[in-house]
Amino acid sequence: MAFGFISIPLDEAREGLDLDAHFGDRTTLDDIVIASPRPSLLVVRYSGNHAVAAGDLDMDGMLSASVAGVVVDGDLELFGAILNRRTDRTPAFVWVRGSLHCRAIAVGNMDLVVDRNVTADLVVASGEDGHLRIGGDVHAARMIVDDGAFASVHGRIMARGWNGSLHAEVMLRRSRWVDEVRPELRAEFFRGDGTVACTGGDGGLVQALLAGRDILRPEP
C-alpha cells in the first residue's frame, strides 16, 4: 500500500521530472522502454512530497504493470525492501530526491539513486549492469558492493561490509564474497574454482542475506 503517489505518463515525466538529464549517458531509461511490452502505456509513479509505502517494491515485475519507475521529491519511508534480484529481465528504476528509509536494498541490474541519506538494515549492490548512487550518508547494519557493481556513496558509510568491485566509489574495506562466507557454507554458493555460483535469485547469496541466514563470517 502506498500513499501520496500519482501516475504520470513516461513521455510527460521525461520533461516534467527532468528524467533525461537525471539519467545522463546511462541507457537505463531507453532500456526500460525497449523492454516494455506496452511502451506507450508506461507511467512513472510520482510523489511530490514525503511518501510512505508498505510492503516490498519488486522492481523486477513493475514493467509488466507498465510502471517504468518511481520518483519521490522528498523522503521515502518504505516499510519493506527494494528488491531487484533477476538479471534476465529489465527492472524499473527508483529516484528518491530526499532520503530513503527501508528494511533492505538489493540492487542487481536496476538504477537506484538517492540524493540524500539511506537508512536500512542491509544494502547490497551486485552485478555490472546496475547503478547505485547515494548522495549522502549510509546508515546500515551491513553494506556489500561486489560482482563489478557500479556504486558510489558521497557521504559517510556507517556500516559493516566490504567492496569487491573495481567500479565502485565507496569507503569500505576491500574483500570479496568467497572470503566473507563462512567456510562450512562455501560449497553451497561457490564452484570449485572459487567463483560465485549464484549471487541473486532464490538460491543465491543475496537471497540468503535477505532471508536472515547467518552465512557470513565475523568481521575481521
Q: What is the mean pLDDT of residues 131-136?
A: 98
Residues 73, 98 contacting (CB under 8 angstroms): yes
Could you tell me the CA-to-CA distances from 100 to 118, 175, 206, 207 in Å, in that order? 5, 26, 20, 21
Give the pLDDT confidence of 67-126 residue by residue, as tens digits.
999 999 999 999 999 999 877 789 999 999 999 999 999 999 999 999 999 999 999 999
Q: What is the pLDDT of residue 197?
A: 81
pLDDT band at 219 (very low <50, low <70, confident <90, very high): confident
Label residue 148 exposed, middle or buried (CB < 10 Å: 0-12, 13-18, 19+). Answer: middle
Q: What is the pLDDT of residue 174?
A: 97
The structural domains of the chain, with segments of one domain joined by +, span 2-175, 176-215
> For 15-39, b where at least 16 C-beta lie within 10 A, e where not — what string?
eebebeebbeeeebbebbeeebeee
Give the number of residues written for the chain: 220
Report the distance separating Cα 113 and Cα 101, nearest Å.
13
Q: What is the mean pLDDT of residues 192-210?
A: 81
In this prediction the pTM is: 0.94
Average pLDDT, the chain: 93
